[in-house]
């Protein structure tokens, strides 16, 4: 089995490492447009591998469709750890190569209709949003929901934060890149089975995480494709919130209200510049991950409803921390490991004849779900399930 990992930033090396931990994998190719970043990733991975010869590095520009498709065609599946703007180039190459594409993220919204149609028309398999959120959050939500006779509410909370808050936002960019994950657009919740817009950064709630302390969560936006599943079609309330250290939402709201998160260019002394680009450039030195920084990922999925005629509630929690032994961030572990596991499933034919643009919660069910959980547990990413049920005394 041969796996291609595209992107050698924070996520790609972790995906490559996880893939090579599988004895069925004989070769992993780590590819990037940036030779220096690729060399750094290889130098970092080599001491961790039992057989470094199984890791190949390749410089590739995805804008060259022919070269990209030829590279992808040599492999049984692709893990994409790319900036959103580059994803469409890779998907087109994977379709041309007829190789399953597992993406840790999503392409730009405006590209989706064309890409989905291309994938469907060519009988390709693309699994988008296959990281922690989106990805594990929706997978776990479906797993819980299927234990109910009727699901009434779904509440998802997830976020990556620095282990010790510091700096102006008490935040570090744990996913990679130089752009802050801040947006001015509205978020969405679900009410009565339909999406309803709410202000982003609203709905702030605080809660205590054991071993971490008090954190906050605010509206980031319910993943609409969950409503395609029968178990979620008539939920009364559904929310999806991002976790940060307390105070983040208030600061982000000020930036938004001042227009500083706008992507619309404005004239500044004759120069057209987007306010968000300025914010990213100014704040990056204060929010980038430094050599000594450590991160953690917090995850909570709650489902409530009715089981056997009685109220029923289930919750899955996870707290994952920076890996001091391997040097992988927690966000890389929970995101890239998930993508790599699913890519190996695709490469091994575990999804059968599945074709099309398919989000992971539609595929990771039954034994495939349990395999994913087992493999993550083997890598030290552990989940706990809490059950609250009501029964009649007789």
Q: What distance in Å separates the CA atoms of residue 14 and residue 18, rounded to the nearest whole number? A: 6
pLDDT of 252? 96
Average pLDDT, the chain: 95
CATH of 2-131+330-378, one of 3.40.50.720, 3.10.450.50, 3.50.50.60, 3.30.70.420: 3.40.50.720
Q: What is the average per-residue pLDDT within 188-205?
A: 95
Q: Band of the pLDDT at 40, cuts 50, 70, 90?
A: very high
pLDDT digits (tens, 9 = 90+) for 227-236: 999 999 889 9
**Residue 391 reports pLDDT greater than 90:** no
Phi, psi of 107 (to 5 degrees): -75, 170
Q: What's the CATH fold of domain 136-321?
A: Dihydrodipicolinate Reductase; domain 2 (3.30.360)
pLDDT of 392? 75
The 10 Å Cβ neighbour count of residue 95 is: 21
**Residue 173 reports pLDDT greater than 80:** yes
Q: What distance in Å separates the CA atoms of residue 45 and residue 68, rounded to the nearest whole number? A: 23
Q: What is the average per-residue pLDDT within 281-309?
A: 94
- What residue ranges do the domains of the chain occupy? 2-131+330-378, 136-321
Distances (CA, A) of 161 to 137, 293, 309, 322, 371: 17, 11, 40, 11, 27
**Residue 45 reports pLDDT greater than 80:** yes
pLDDT of 176? 76
pLDDT of 265? 94
Q: What distance in Å separates the CA atoms of residue 173 and residue 288, rounded to the nearest whole number? A: 5
**Residue 6 reports pLDDT greater than 80:** yes
Cβ–Cβ < 8 Å for 154, 143:
no
Compare 176 and 226 and report the one with higher pLDDT: 226
Q: What is the average per-residue pLDDT within 159-167?
A: 93
pLDDT digits (tens, 9 = 90+) for 54-111: 999 999 999 999 999 999 999 999 999 999 999 999 999 999 999 999 999 999 999 9
CA angle 257, 258, 260 (to 5 degrees): 105
pLDDT of 193? 87
pLDDT of 280? 95
Rama region for 207: left / alpha / beta (φ>0; ψ in -120 to 50; rest) = beta
Q: What distance in Å separates the CA atoms of residue 301 and residue 288, rounded to the nearest whole number? A: 28
Q: What is the average per-residue pLDDT within 243-268?
A: 95
Q: What distance in Å separates the CA atoms of residue 307 and residue 304, rounded to the nearest whole number? A: 9
Report the DSSP beta bridge partners of residue 190: 195, 238
pTM for the model stands at 0.94
Of 166, 148, 139, 112, nearest to 342 (Cα)? 139
Residue 377: partners with Cβ closer than 8 Å, 6 or more residues away: 383
User: Is-same-fold flag (2-131+330-378; 136-321)?
Assistant: no
pLDDT of 251? 96
């Amino acid at each position: 089995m041969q796996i291609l990992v595209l992107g050698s930033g924070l996520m790609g090396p972790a995906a490559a490492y996880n893939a090579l931990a599988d004895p069925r994998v004989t070769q992993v190719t780590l590819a990037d447009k940036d030779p220096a970043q690729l060399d750094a990733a290889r130098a970092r991975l080599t001491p961790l591998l039992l057989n470094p010869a199984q890791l190949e590095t390749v410089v590739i520009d995805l804008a060259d469709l022919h070269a990209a498709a030829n590279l992808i065609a040599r492999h049984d599946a692709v893990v994409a750890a790319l900036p959103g703007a580059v994803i469409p180039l890779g998907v087109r190459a994977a379709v041309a190569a007829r190789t399953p594409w597992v993406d840790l993220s999503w392409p730009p919204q405006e590209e989706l209709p064309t890409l989905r149609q291309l994938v469907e028309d060519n009988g390709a398999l693309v699994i988008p949003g296959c990281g922690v959120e989106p990805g594990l959050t929706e997978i776990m939500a479906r797993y819980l929901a299927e234990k109910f006779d009727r699901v009434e509410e779904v509440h998802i909370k997830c976020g990556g934060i620095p282990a010790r808050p510091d700096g102006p936002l008490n935040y570090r960019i744990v996913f990679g890149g130089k752009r802050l994950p801040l947006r001015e657009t509205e978020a969405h919740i679900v009410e009565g089975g339909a999406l309803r817009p709410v202000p982003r950064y609203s709905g702030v709630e605080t809660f205590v995480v054991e071993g971490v302390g008090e954190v906050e969560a605010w509206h980031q936006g319910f993943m609409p494709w969950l409503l395609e599943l029968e178990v979620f079609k008539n939920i009364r309330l559904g929310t999806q919130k991002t976790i940060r250290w307390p105070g983040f939402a208030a600061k982000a709201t000020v930036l938004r209200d001042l227009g500083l998160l706008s992507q619309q260019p404005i004239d500044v002394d004759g120069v057209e510049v987007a306010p968000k680009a300025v914010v990213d450039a100014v704040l990056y030195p204060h929010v980038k991950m430094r050599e000594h920084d450590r991160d953690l990922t917090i995850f909570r999925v709650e489902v409530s409803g009715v089981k056997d005629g009685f109220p029923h509630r289930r919750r899955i929690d996870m707290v994952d921390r920076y890996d001091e032994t391997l040097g992988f961030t927690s966000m890389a572990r929970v995101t890239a490991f998930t993508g790599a596991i699913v890519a190996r499933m695709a490469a091994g034919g575990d999804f059968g004849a599945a074709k099309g643009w398919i989000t992971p919660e539609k595929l990771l069910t039954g034994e495939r779900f349990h395999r994913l959980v087992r493999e993550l547990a083997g890598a030290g990413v552990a989940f706990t399930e809490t059950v609250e049920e009501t029964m009649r005394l007789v």
